Amino acid sequence: MQVEFKGLQPYAPTYEAMQALVARRAEFLSQFKEENGSSPAENLRDALWICEHSPVFTQGLAGKAEHVIAAGDIPVVQTNRGGQVTYHGPGQVVAYPMIDLKARGYFVKEYVHRLEEATIRTLAHFGLTGHRVRGAPGIYVRLDEPASHARLLDADGMPLSESELPALMDIGKIAALGIKVSRHITYHGLALNVAMDLSPYERINPCGYAGLRTVDMAFCGVNASWDDVAKVLASKLVVHLE
């Protein structure tokens, strides 16, 4: 996988560049198969872009206008990824894997699990415990004890699910996930909050959940640079997406 650290980038041109790269790759694979009767024996064009964005709200395909409460001076960009509205801004590591799922031999559900696992392992590297919530892609932490390994359970002792994400829950979202798959090739990806201005999240219902707290690693007591977290996340993604 070719890893590129792109630094601070405006969102819209990055989105367009992802679409163009994926389209070119899909066309190459299609033409190769037509000419040779099979796909390439080696997967040489998988890419991983690591960047951060200037302030922007992005809406997924399921995004509802009412989840943007007051965008103000921050632009809202409609995208073709899954999910609802989220925020990108400086101090957040954004990872865009563009890989051929068919060549790697797994499906979308497992791909999402691998993205989440790489994020959980990255947080563990810095002493935090990331948690999944069933039906709500992304990674969450306990607000009172971010290093706690205790499972997130509902009142009945079952794993916490999407339907039980009220504002009163003592958890916060630290990483968001939204993907698109076109002709087996992935794009968009995940965003891990490192040390950022979290106030724009108050202008939206993050990922469509009214009142859901959004936190970053700094809030959880981690003093780490963007570069350090970006390098760890990239290395975990390379390992877990194999």
Tell me the pLDDT of the chain (242 aa) as tens digits. Answer: 899 999 999 999 999 999 999 988 878 766 756 567 655 545 457 999 999 999 999 999 989 999 999 999 999 999 999 999 999 999 999 999 999 998 899 999 999 999 999 999 999 999 999 999 988 899 999 999 999 998 888 777 888 888 877 655 789 999 999 999 998 899 999 999 999 999 999 999 999 988 889 999 999 999 999 999 999 999 999 999 98
- One-letter amino acid at 191 equals A
pTM of this prediction exceeds 0.85: yes
pLDDT at residue 4, as a whole number = 97
pLDDT at residue 33, as a whole number = 61
pLDDT at residue 25, as a whole number = 84
pLDDT at residue 34, as a whole number = 59
DSSP alpha helix (H) spans, the chain: 11-36, 101-104, 108-125, 226-240
Alpha carbons 238 and 122: distance in angstroms, whole number: 12
Alpha carbons 37 and 20: distance in angstroms, whole number: 25
Domain locations along the chain: 2-126+179-240
Of 197, 191, 178, 177, which Cα lies nearest the Cα of 229? 191
pLDDT at residue 87, as a whole number = 98
Is residue 93 within 8 A of residue 48, CB to CB? The reply is no
Residues with a catalytic annotation lie at 207
- One-letter amino acid at 175 equals A
205 phi-psi bin (left φ>0, alpha ψ -120 to 50, beta other): beta
- One-letter amino acid at 132 equals R
Is residue 196 within 8 A of residue 174, CB to CB? The reply is no
- Fold classification of 2-126+179-240 is BirA Bifunctional Protein; domain 2 (3.30.930)
Alpha carbons 146 and 131: distance in angstroms, whole number: 10
Q: Which residue has the tokens 């009767």?
A: 37
Alpha carbons 202 and 16: distance in angstroms, whole number: 28
